[in-house]
Amino acid sequence: MAQSVALPFAFILLRILIVLNWLAGAAIAALLLVLPHTDWIMAAFKLTPSPEADLLLIGLRAIAVIGLFTIPINHLILTRLLAMVRTVRSGDPFVASNARRLHVIAWALLALQCLGILIYAIALGVSTPAHPLKLETSGSLTGWLAVLLTFILARVFAAGSAMRDDLEGTV
């Protein structure tokens, strides 16, 4: 099987994304724990002291905490993809371990979609006409289709792996 030009690129990109994911987590943690105090956030968002502004600050902190939960989920996805790229590079992608990896990725993608809905709900709950919080995190049809597709691909890989094992057993 000829090597794809995309495989080395995918391998390098996934390694970079793993590092960037952890850096993003460190940035979110720093924003939550080190940098912001109420005055800084109020100035950054041009808020005036009010009960609505206080609610908005609580919502922003809650969204940041949820953002921290996405970091290990993203890591799970990226490391499983990297392992799959390794099996493709070795010329043996249709193995049971890749089917399991895809299944884990599908559940992780589902979790990310649900967290996106939670973030959107928080944004809706704390947004006011005076202090609107507009986020593009309500989820997309594409994201939900990716979840479905990944569950289906996991099943396809499992069936392909089982068929290959059966074929090797008869030869």
Please list the alpha-helical segments (H only) found in 90-170. Answer: 96-126, 141-170
Helix (H, G, I), strand (E, B) or coil at 167: helix
Q: What is the predicted pLDDT for the residue at 2?
A: 56
pLDDT tens-digit profile, the chain (171 residues): 556 788 899 999 999 999 999 999 999 999 888 766 777 778 877 778 888 888 888 898 999 999 999 999 999 999 999 999 999 988 888 889 999 999 999 999 999 999 999 999 999 998 888 777 777 665 688 999 999 999 999 999 999 888 887 777 665
Residue 83 falls inside a structural domain: yes
How far is 83 from 52, CA to CA, in rounded Å?
A: 47
Domain membership of residue 46 as a residue range: 6-170
Q: Which residues contact 153 (CB under 8 A, 6 or more apart)?
A: 102, 106
| Structural domains in the chain (count) | 1
Residue 42 falls inside a structural domain: yes
Residue 70 falls inside a structural domain: yes
Q: Which residues contact 15 (CB under 8 A, 6 or more apart)?
A: 82
Strands (E), 16-140: none
Residue 1 falls inside a structural domain: no
Q: What is the predicted pLDDT for the residue at 79?
A: 98
Torsion sign (Cα): 58, 59, 64, 70 = positive
Helix (H, G, I), strand (E, B) or coil at 54: helix
Residue 146 falls inside a structural domain: yes
